[in-house]
Structures are given as C-alpha cells and as structure tokens.
C-alpha cells in the first residue's frame, strides 16, 4: 500500500482479555517499529524489527506484551491479560533502513485501545 | 533529566504571527533531529529534519539547530489556524534505531 496500514483503528476490550494489533508497513521498508502514546503523552518506544534480525524488545513494558513479524512484512503486537493502564494509542512506523541517523520513520494511523 | 524535552504549552499565537517551538536534548552525540506534527486524533507526520548546525528552511517552516547548546527549534512564519496541532521533537537513539520523542508542544493559532 501507499502508507503504513494498521488495524483495527479502534479496539475496546475487557480487562483480562488478550488483544492483537496488526501493522502492514510500506512496501520495501525493512524496519518496523511499535510505539505507544498514552493520553497527552509523547510516544514511547516498544519494539523494533529489522529484516530477519532478532527484534529489539527493550521497550516492552511487561512480559504481557509480545510482537512478531512474519515474512519480514506484516507485524502483530499482542497484549495478553490486558489491564486498564494498557489503554493508549498504539502506533506502528516503518522505515527504509535502520541504524542510520538520517533514517525517516513513517507512521500509521494507529490503533486506539480502550480497556474497560 | 529526560532525553528530549519540550515546553508542553499550550502555546497560542495570533494568525500571521511567528510561532517558536523549542526542544533540548541530552545526548551530545546526536546527529539527526526531526519535527513531527500531530493533529488531534491523527498520527505523527514528518514536517522537518535537520542534521547540521544552522538553519534549514522549507516554505513557512524553519528548523534551527545548535549542537553546542543542544537545542533544536522550529519556527512557523505566517501562522495559520491549520497549523494548530501538537509538534513533536524526535531524536534517534544512540543506536539510530528507534526515535526518542519529546512530550510535544500544543500550538493553537487564533484566527
């Protein structure tokens, strides 16, 4: 597609349920990032994928969070046993390269997660 | 100390005025700096990047970088109501992988 595509755009779930968020990066982009933006806050890095290399999971807040990227393209962020503090907008970004200072990241529209 | 700091605002300017947004960063080795604009309920959109000391102009936008003082600013000339948004300053991590964002400055341009 022309841009980074995320689905669903909105997700309402009950506390304790598992959720899956999907990201389809820009075609040809090898790097994919997940960020979280809580209400009124800046973006918080969660995880990063680069090609077939092991992902950088250093930003994941707990072991309830995991992500995978299949075939070097689509990525799924999974949150298990959701908690109310997980409510936020989850943003996915992709870039042509990574590890390069001038690397530009392009963002999807995000998934707004609400945990009741 | 946060790695990237911005005045959270809100900042209000009248239409046609110059809006000045500031950002400071802690990593003296940082090489690249990005300004993203985020409308309410929308995703961040890159509007400026700057890599060298000095000014970089693009239309009504000017980014200014001073590595010695570790600050980067964004000037918006002839501000329009459509410029009303949150402006995020972003700096790559030391590994140049993920971006570290400031908390954003909310700008309102009053008609």
Chain B residues with CB under 8 Å of A91 CB are 43-44
Distance between CA atoms of residues A32 and A48, nearest Å: 6
Per-residue pLDDT band for B1 (boundaries 50, 70, 90) equals: low
pLDDT tens digits for range A85-116: 999 999 999 998 776 667 889 999 999 999 99
Alpha-carbon distance values, B35 to A34, A47, B44, B60, B63 (Å): 19, 21, 9, 14, 8
pLDDT of residue A52: 81
Consecutive H or E run containing B101: strand B99-101
Chain A residues with CB under 8 Å of B10 CB are none
CA B83 to chain centre: 13
pLDDT tens digits for range B3-53: 899 987 799 999 999 999 999 999 888 889 999 999 988 899 999 999 999
Tokens encoding A54: 């092991």
Per-residue pLDDT band for A51 (boundaries 50, 70, 90) equals: confident
H helices within B8-110, ranges in order?
A: none
Q: How close is the nearest chain B Cα to the Cα of A48, in Å?
A: 7
Q: What is the mean pLDDT of chain A?
A: 91
Interface of A with B in 18-37 (CB under 8 A): 31, 33, 35
Which has more confidence, B32 or B97? B32
pLDDT of residue B16: 97
Interface of B with A in 7-66 (CB under 8 A): 31-32, 34, 36, 42-46, 49, 51
Chain B residues with CB under 8 Å of A102 CB are 31-32, 49, 51
Q: What percent of chain A has pLDDT over 90?
A: 74
Q: Pick the closest to residue A110 from A42, A10, A33, A1 (CA basis).
A: A10
Chain A nearest-CA residue for B92: A101
User: How many helices, marked H, and strands, marked E, lie in chain B?
Assistant: 0, 11
* Strand pairing report for A111-115 and A10-13: parallel
pLDDT of residue A39: 82
pLDDT of residue B56: 95
Q: Are B72 and B23 in contact (CB under 8 A)?
A: yes
Tokens encoding B18: 């110059």
């Amino acid at each position: 597609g022309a841009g980074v595509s995320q689905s669903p755009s909105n997700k309402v779930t009950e506390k304790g349920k598992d959720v899956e968020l999907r990201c389809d990066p820009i075609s040809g982009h090898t790097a994919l990032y997940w960020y979280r933006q809580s209400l009124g806050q800046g973006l918080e890095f969660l995880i990063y994928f680069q090609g077939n290399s092991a992902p950088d999971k250093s930003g994941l807040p707990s072991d309830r969070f995991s992500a995978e990227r299949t075939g070097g393209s689509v990525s799924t962020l999974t949150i298990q046993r959701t908690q109310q503090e997980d409510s936020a907008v989850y943003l996915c970004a992709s870039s042509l390269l990574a590890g390069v200072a001038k690397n530009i990241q392009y963002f999807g529209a995000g998934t707004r997660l609400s945990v009741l | 100390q946060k790695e990237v700091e911005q005045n959270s605002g809100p900042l209000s300017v009248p239409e046609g005025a110059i809006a000045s947004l500031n950002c400071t960063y802690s990593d003296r080795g940082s090489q690249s700096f990005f300004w993203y604009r985020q409308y309410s309920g929308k995703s961040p959109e890159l509007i400026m990047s700057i890599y060298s000391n000095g000014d970089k102009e693009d239309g009504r936008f000017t980014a200014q970088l001073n590595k010695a003082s570790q600050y980067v600013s964004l000037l918006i000339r002839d501000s329009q109501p459509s410029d009303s948004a949150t402006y995020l300053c972003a700096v790559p991590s030391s590994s140049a992988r993920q971006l570290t964002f400031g908390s954003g400055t909310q700008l309102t341009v009053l008609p």
